[in-house]
């Protein structure tokens, strides 16, 4: 080795030893696998975490050792690993079930990167993993508990609906104008709560692929009729609501889901529109399909937040508008429901000029 002093070699060895110690003893799983999915390196922490010896894992495929062929939900993890190997840049971070030697299932958050560092010119994928099993268990427990509470709350709330509707229809006994006013407030309140409950339940179903889209053909005017209760909200809030629904327009979609999408968009519009403002729902024919839009004259959304507006529970305080942008779960649900129909939802907005949320459904 020309012009390399003994001191320099010692320094290089020290740096290498330091690096190896760091890799071997850090509290994260560090491994590399070749393009066939065979393990070429795993650090000491990874061996202890999965319960294997070095000899038991080196040269073995990750499938069947530290990765089960399918997870508990039935997802094909073999296909997931193959996709990571082919396109690691698309899966820089992924979360999946893993398996210890004793068969115990654990959840790991992985960071993946293609590298040529360890095997000369042969590409490998470097994977760094952290155990998130307890976090996932807590999240599942929270979701199950929330689902149970919301489901029971829905059943209790339905018990309020029938007597209120009967009183408003005056089929039981005469009701004064003042009583009607109070009953209408009760009606809009339980409608809002019921919409929130159904959004929570249906979001969970869509996330877990337990809500198949049930398309049928119905008239746009049927949607308008199911949204009439928003006129009570407009009246109570001092806002103007306009329905612009094309006559004899047929829609091929999941009626319940699309109704819920429009309810959430209208709820969001009223929330961010001041007294005296205007909200317009438009349902019209466009290119052999149907265009839905909800336009409001509210405070609008700054451009820097438009890309995040459909995130669950997105919230930000905006000083210029002197208000908070808080989307809750409603807009996130709208995005999932529209995407489940094979389409996308969009938003156009400017501060102080209102917002327009719109999406298109192909009738074919």
Q: CATH number of the domain at 288, please.
A: 3.30.565.10
Q: Do both 299 and 351 map to the same domain?
A: yes
Q: Please check whether residue 239 is in contact with residue 273, taking contact to mean a CB–CB distance below 8 angstroms.
A: yes
* pLDDT of amino acid 209: 60
DSSP state of 298: S
- Examine the pLDDT at 119 and tell me if it is beyond 50: no
- Mean pLDDT (whole number) for 96-109: 94
Q: Do both 228 and 193 map to the same domain?
A: no
Residue 150 is assigned to a structural domain of this protein: yes
Coil, strand or helix at 209: coil
- Mean pLDDT (whole number) for 189-214: 71
What does the alpha-carbon distance between residue 229 and residue 227 come to, in Å, rounded to a whole number? 5
Q: Do both 238 and 345 map to the same domain?
A: yes
Q: Tell me which of 98, 114, 131 is where a domain ends.
A: 131
**In terms of pTM, does the model score above 0.85?**
no
Residue 1 is assigned to a structural domain of this protein: no
Name residues whose C-beta falls within 8 Å of residue 85's C-beta, 6 or more positions apart in sequence.
33, 35, 36, 37, 125
Residue 156 is assigned to a structural domain of this protein: yes
Q: Do both 79 and 147 map to the same domain?
A: no
Residue 118 is assigned to a structural domain of this protein: yes
Q: Do both 233 and 347 map to the same domain?
A: yes
Structure-model confidence comparison of residues 212 and 21, the more confident one: 212
Q: Tell me which of 177, 212, 247 is where a domain ends.
A: 212
Task: Provide the token pair at 202.
Answer: 């249906």
Q: Do both 296 and 334 map to the same domain?
A: yes
Residue 82 is assigned to a structural domain of this protein: yes
- Examine the pLDDT at 151 and tell me if it is beyond 70: no
Task: Provide the token pair at 135.
Answer: 């976090």
- Examine the pLDDT at 1 and tell me if it is beyond 60: no
- Examine the pLDDT at 333 and tell me if it is beyond 60: yes
What does the alpha-carbon distance between residue 164 and residue 41 come to, in Å, rounded to a whole number? 68
Q: Please check whether residue 146 is in contact with residue 126, taking contact to mean a CB–CB distance below 8 angstroms.
A: no
Per-residue pLDDT reduced to its tens digit, 4-15: 566 766 666 666
Question: Which band of pLDDT confidence, cut at 50, 70 and 90, is reported for residue 305?
Answer: confident
- Mean pLDDT (whole number) for 322-346: 80
Q: CA dihedral defined by 157, 163, 167, 171, rounded to 10 degrees? A: 150
Q: Do both 24 and 98 map to the same domain?
A: yes
Q: Tell me which of 66, 100, 131 is where a domain ends.
A: 131
Own/partner long-range contacts of 266-270 (Cβ < 8 Å, ≥24 apart): 266/227, 266/230, 266/294, 267/192, 267/195, 267/330, 268/294, 268/327, 268/330, 268/331, 268/357, 269/294, 269/295, 269/296, 269/298, 269/355, 269/357, 270/230, 270/233, 270/234, 270/237, 270/239, 270/296
Question: Which band of pLDDT confidence, cut at 50, 70 and 90, is reported for residue 42?
Answer: very high
Q: Do both 39 and 81 map to the same domain?
A: yes
What does the alpha-carbon distance between residue 39 and residue 311 come to, in Å, rounded to a whole number? 37
* pLDDT of amino acid 89: 83
- Examine the pLDDT at 73 and tell me if it is beyond 60: yes
Residue 111 is assigned to a structural domain of this protein: yes
What does the alpha-carbon distance between residue 90 and residue 336 come to, in Å, rounded to a whole number? 21
Residue 256 is assigned to a structural domain of this protein: yes
Residue ranges of E strands in 117-261: 124-131, 216-219, 240-245, 250-253
Residue 242 is assigned to a structural domain of this protein: yes
Write out the residue range of the structural domain in which residue 273 sits.
214-362
Task: Provide the token pair at 66.
Answer: 């530290």
Based on the number of CB atoms within 10 Å of its own CB, is 162 exposed (0-12), middle (13-18) or buried (19 or more)?
exposed
Q: Do both 223 and 339 map to the same domain?
A: yes
Residue 66 parent element (H or E): none
CATH code of residue 58: 3.30.450.20
Q: How many domains does the chain have?
A: 3
- Examine the pLDDT at 18 and tell me if it is beyond 70: no
Question: Which band of pLDDT confidence, cut at 50, 70 and 90, is reported for residue 329?
Answer: confident
């Amino acid at each position: 080795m020309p012009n390399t002093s003994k001191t320099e070699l010692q320094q290089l060895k020290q740096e290498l030893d330091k690096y190896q110690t760091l890799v071997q003893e850090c509290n994260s799983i560090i491994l590399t696998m070749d393009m066939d999915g065979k393990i070429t390196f795993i650090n000491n922490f990874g061996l202890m975490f999965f319960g294997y010896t070095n000899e038991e894992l080196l040269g073995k495929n990750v499938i069947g050792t530290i990765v089960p062929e399918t997870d508990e939900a039935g997802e094909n993890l073999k296909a997931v690993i193959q996709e990571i190997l082919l396109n690691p840049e698309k899966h820089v971070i992924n979360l999946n079930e893993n398996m210890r030697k004793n068969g115990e299932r654990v959840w790991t958050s992985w960071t993946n990167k293609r590298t040529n560092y360890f095997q000369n010119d042969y590409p490998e994928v470097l994977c760094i993993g952290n155990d998130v099993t307890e976090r996932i268990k807590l999240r599942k427990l929270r979701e199950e508990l929330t689902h149970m509470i919301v489901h029971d709350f829905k059943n209790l709330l339905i018990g309020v609906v029938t007597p209120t509707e009967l009183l408003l229809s005056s089929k039981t006994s005469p009701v004064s104008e003042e009583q009607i006013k109070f009953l209408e407030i009760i009606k809009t309140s339980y409608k809002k709560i019921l919409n929130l409950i159904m959004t929570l339940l249906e979001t969970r179903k869509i996330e877990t692929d337990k809500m198949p889209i049930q398309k049928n053909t119905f008239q746009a005017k049927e949607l308008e009729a199911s949204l009439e209760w928003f006129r009570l909200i407009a009246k109570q809030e001092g806002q103007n609501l306009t329905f612009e629904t094309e006559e004899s327009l047929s829609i091929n979609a999941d009626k319940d889901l699309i109704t819920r999408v429009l309810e959430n968009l209208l709820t969001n519009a009223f929330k961010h529109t001041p007294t005296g403002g205007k909200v317009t729902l438009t349902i019209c024919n466009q290119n052999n399909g149907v265009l839905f839009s909800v336009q409001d004259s509210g405070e609008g959304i700054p451009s820097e937040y438009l890309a995040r507006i459909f995130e669950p529970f997105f919230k930000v305080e905006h000083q210029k508008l002197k208000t908070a942008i808080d989307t809750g779960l409603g807009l996130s649900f709208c995005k999932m429901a529209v995407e489940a129909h094979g389409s996308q939802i969009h938003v156009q907005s400017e501060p102080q000029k209102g917002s327009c949320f719109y999406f298109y459904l192909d009738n074919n």
